[in-house]
Amino acid sequence: MATLEELAQDGVLRKLVPGNLARHEFVVRHVWFYVEVLRWIKEEVPTFTAFYPENMPPLKQAHKLFRDFVLGEEFVHETDFWKMRPYSEDVYELKTNDLRFFGWFVRPRVFVVARNDTFEMVHSQQGVHLKHLGEVVRMRREIDLDEPKYTPGAPINGLF
């Protein structure tokens, strides 16, 4: 069993370290990525175009999403579009207009991103969304992370 930091040393995970913070900005949440997700963001997402031309490019959407997350921006709304949505088995989806990220909270304010996809793929291919949710559960079970690996049954507001 290992800590998040040890898994980063082993090349399994990488922690987001936001740069260029203003004086009034502070990191209040932490995001860890499976290296495959970061590779997708760096290599594939820059080639994507926004589904709706008036939206910012998907790479900028990803940068803004995760920067906002670590800086403590509001992610749960009573409106139709939530930046973060909870699902069964304590799996969560982080969303932009064009991108989807799936993961779990190791503990309050510490999130691991395990899977990713595009809005188009998740909504146009039957079963893709459920497949990602199931993959997150499997990856969480199989990762060599110290127990407890996640925060079961916590209300979403208790994780922020």
Would you list the DSSP string of 42-110?
HHTGGG---SSTTSPPHHHHHHHHHHHHHTT-----SSS--SEEEEGGGEEEEE-SSEEEEEEEEETTE
The CATH number assigned to the domain with range 4-16+27-159 reads 3.30.2310.20
> What is the model's pTM?
0.92
Tokens representing residue 62 in the block: 């990803």
Give the Cα separation of 6 and 12 in Å (integer). Answer: 9
Which residues touch 159 (CB under 8 Å, ≥6 apart)? 105, 108, 109, 151
**What is the tens place of the pLDDT at every residue in 4-36?**
999 999 999 999 887 777 777 788 899 999 999
Neighbours of 156 (CB within 10 A): 14
Residues above pLDDT 90, as percent of the chain: 62
3-state secondary structure of 140: helix
**What is the tens place of the pLDDT at every residue in 29-65?**
999 999 999 999 999 999 999 988 899 999 999 999 9
pLDDT attached to residue 160: 72
pLDDT at 80 > cutoff 60: no
pLDDT attached to residue 151: 87
Rounded to an integer, the average pLDDT of 79-103 is: 86
